[in-house]
Structure 1
Amino acid sequence: MSFKIATIADVHAAEQVIRQHVSPAPLIRSYALERELKLPASRRVWLKDYGWTPAGSFKLLGALNWMANSLERIGDSPVAAHSSGNFASGIAFAGMRYQKRVIVVMPETAPRIKFERTRSFGAEVRTYDIARDHQTGERDRITREIAEQEQAIQASPYDDPFVIAGNGVGALEVVRDLQRDGRGISHFFCAVSGGGLMAGQAIAIADGFPQANIIGVEPAGADDFRQSLAAGSRVRLERPSSICDGLLSYDVGEHNWPILQKLVKQSLAIPDAATQQAMRWLYEQHGLRTEPSGAITAAALLSGQIDLSGDGDVVVVVSGRNVDETAFRNWTRES
């Protein structure tokens, strides 16, 4: 393989970068999920809530590590990236911290809060029509034009070893917290889109708890990773579809795939209706107003598709909370 694959050493190195900018995201015990799942008293369920970060999602972790390790290459050039919205705010935050100009390409239909967060950190935003992108390739074309015309350095939202390693830092926190209390992990649920979050998290979880069952979660209309596992090679979807706007990548990244294929043995495809129910459940039980992409892992756990037998704890990654109020109310309204 001609390119670098992120390792646990890279995740540890990334932690030194991340700690200069943000504190660990909270690991919240869910007594409500423990009751709902009828787990014995010896086992616990934990929510790793990345919605708590300044950017409202996990994305600033990988963005910060990428920025810190790309400063020499960037120099006085701007940084260009495409994003459904969360990486946009993450790379904007990193640009603010490292005083670099950032230009991001986002769908016109991205949640308003994602535009607001991104601009609040000083980034410039340009938009494209996601509904026809599978035909026109607008997203990549605009990003490429920015790189050419402005001599910008492109940052990938997920397909990069520095991004992967940065995203893994949150799972290092999970491992340390549970090992400190003498606890283990039997099941670890994390969403998969381009694979940057899951790849980084899987590296750290597999290192700390080798016996943990690491489970991917995807929307039913955007389950390219599940199909890739079945095929034994990366599958590209022509037009992924879901209310989970953060989980609509066409395929997993080249840098992510070897890690995912090795460490993640299954991925669940969750219908949007179940995700909406999980959003309502998390709000009612925990007061968490999550975006669909953040709630889908709880939906997978509540779906009962996974045999939870074992001795360890269950960890559920809540990847983000960037959702507009009106959309949240519509999605969580009782039918």
Structure 2
Amino acid sequence: MTPPPLAIDAVLAAEPLVRPHVSPAPLIRSYSLERALGLSPDRRVWLKDFGWTPSGSFKLLGALNWMAHHLDAIGDRPVAAHSSGNFASGIAYAGMCFGRRVIVVMPETAPRVKFDRTRAFGAEIRTYDISRDHETGERDRLTRAIVQTEGAVQASPYDDPHVIAGNGVGGLEIVRDLKHAGRDLSTFLCPVSGGGLMAGMALAIADGFPSSRIISVEPSDADDFRQSLELNRRVRLDHPRSICDGLLSYDVGEHNWPILRRLVTRAVSVPDPATRAAMRWLYDQHGLRVEPSGAIGVAALLDGRVDPGTSGDLVVVLSGRNVDDASFRSWIDVDAPPAPAWKVATP
């Protein structure tokens, strides 16, 4: 059965539930990216940096809204969830805010910083081997076992209306900041995996700037949504691969798909080398240690996969900054990205 469509009203209703627990993530103007893209002086590029949140990513927005709506159902029971790491720390933070016990299932290879943040907020962690999960289904089996044996209430990291609406609060922040500054938005870039972030963001952005292009970005070897949009049906990838550990869901969620299909203008995929170069660029130009999943939108611009157009401002979502130092140093050991191909051809 097709889930009922989610509307902007759900995002607006989420904000007063989320706001007492987290301040808006900053919207930062990138003068360097404006120069790199060769924009005219009247245009701006903005980075929406969710690395500044307590959990280091956007995931706590949806987690807080989900928790607020399930307090009665949870009662004294624990909350269970599976996550590559960022939702783990997000739902752990929500559990801390609302005084609920949280148990999360994470891949044993998740970045240490994601383990550390999740434990710091009081959650219990159980691990699985992600390299064989497409064969064993261990992630879902472990999560079901927690639900069945400990009576836990399960939270989805992306395929849930309350999670989508909570994530959309970040989009409301973008719309409000741009309108307050008297700016017009022409292009919005955001990573997509299960689709919980992009679906919520798309609802807010499309409502605030109906004529803007909403562009999703995902890794080349994990581009199930790009294929889904092309075929007009949800496509599942059994073994997505990328350094973007936060963008390796097998498919987009059932609740997310109708929103994404309706509102996303275009889906682009980016190879990992371009994402690494964007991580290097963000570090060199802005001093930001952005995780691969968070840098992929900037990569799409610097690698020439998205033409910035000729008018209006651009917003790029930096979805998270949870990356281990050793991995980060290894990944940014690349040359800075060259000028985008479309710019090279400009007289």
Q: Same fold, TM exceeding 0.5?
A: yes
Counterparts of 1:233-252 in structure 2, within 5 Å, are 233-252=233-252
Q: Distance in 2 between matches of 1:208 and 1:261?
A: 18
Tell me how far 1:305 sits from its aligned partner. Answer: 2.1
Q: Distance in 2 between matches of 1:231 and 1:159?
A: 21
3-state secondary structure, aligned to 1:5: coil
Which residue pairs with 1:25 in the alignment?
25
The answer to whether the 8 A contact 2:225-2:251 is kept is yes
Give a deviation string over 1:165-189, Cα, whole Å, max 9, x none: 0000011010011111111110000
Q: Distance in 2 between matches of 1:54 and 1:303?
A: 31
Matched, 1:275 2:275: yes
Question: How many residues end up aligned between the 2 structures?
Answer: 335
Q: Distance in 2 between matches of 1:176 and 1:265?
A: 22
Q: Which amino acid is 1:24 matched to?
A: P
Which residue pairs with 2:254 in the alignment?
254
Q: Which amino acid is 1:119 matched to?
A: R
Which residue pairs with 2:177 in the alignment?
177
Give a deviation string over 1:119-155, Cα, whole Å, max 9, x none: 0000000000000000000000000000000000000
3-state secondary structure, aligned to 1:215: strand
Give a deviation string over 1:261-301, Cα, whole Å, max 9, x none: 00002111100000000000000000110000000000001
Counterparts of 1:134-283 in structure 2, within 5 Å, are 134-283=134-283
Identity of aligned residues (%): 70
Q: Distance in 1 between matches of 2:269 and 2:334?
A: 23
Tell me how far 1:304 sits from its aligned partner. Answer: 1.5
Provide structure 1 residue ranges, at least 5 long, that are not aligned to the other structure.
none
Q: Distance in 2 between matches of 1:310 and 1:207?
A: 22
Which residue pairs with 1:294 in the alignment?
294
Which residue pairs with 2:55 in the alignment?
55
Q: Distance in 1 between matches of 2:4 and 2:156?
A: 15
Which residue pairs with 2:92 in the alignment?
92
Matched, 1:71 2:76: no
Give a deviation string over 1:195-235, Cα, whole Å, max 9, x none: 00000000000000000000000000100000000110000
Tell me how far 1:307 sits from its aligned partner. Answer: 2.6
3-state secondary structure, aligned to 2:306: coil
3-state secondary structure, aligned to 1:188: strand
The answer to whether the 8 A contact 1:5-1:161 is kept is no
The answer to whether the 8 A contact 1:223-1:269 is kept is yes
3-state secondary structure, aligned to 1:314: strand
Provide structure 2 residue ranges, at least 5 long, that are not aligned to the other structure.
336-347
Q: Which amino acid is 2:59 matched to?
A: K
Q: Distance in 2 between matches of 1:46 and 1:321?
A: 17
Tell me how far 1:310 sits from its aligned partner. Answer: 3.6
3-state secondary structure, aligned to 1:156: coil
3-state secondary structure, aligned to 1:216: strand
Q: Distance in 2 between matches of 1:308 and 1:274?
A: 17
Q: Which moved more, 1:3-12 or 1:113-122?
A: 3-12
Q: Distance in 2 between matches of 1:334 and 1:104?
A: 34
RMSD, matched Cα:
0.8
3-state secondary structure, aligned to 2:255: coil
Q: Distance in 2 between matches of 1:311 and 1:296?
A: 23
Tell me how far 1:306 sits from its aligned partner. Answer: 2.1
Which residue pairs with 1:46 in the alignment?
46
Q: Distance in 1 between matches of 2:74 and 2:310?
A: 48
Which residue pairs with 2:345 in the alignment?
none
The answer to whether the 8 A contact 2:301-2:307 is kept is no
The answer to whether the 8 A contact 2:24-2:170 is kept is yes
3-state secondary structure, aligned to 2:20: coil
Structure 1 residue ranges (4+ consecutive) displaced by more than 4 angstroms after TM superposition: none
The TM-score with structure 2 as length reference comes to: 0.95
3-state secondary structure, aligned to 1:315: strand
3-state secondary structure, aligned to 1:157: coil
Tell me how far 1:2 sits from its aligned partner. Answer: 4.6
Give a deviation string over 1:59-96, Cα, whole Å, max 9, x none: 00000000000111111110000000000000000000
Q: Which amino acid is 1:124 matched to?
A: E
Tell me how far 1:309 sits from its aligned partner. Answer: 1.8
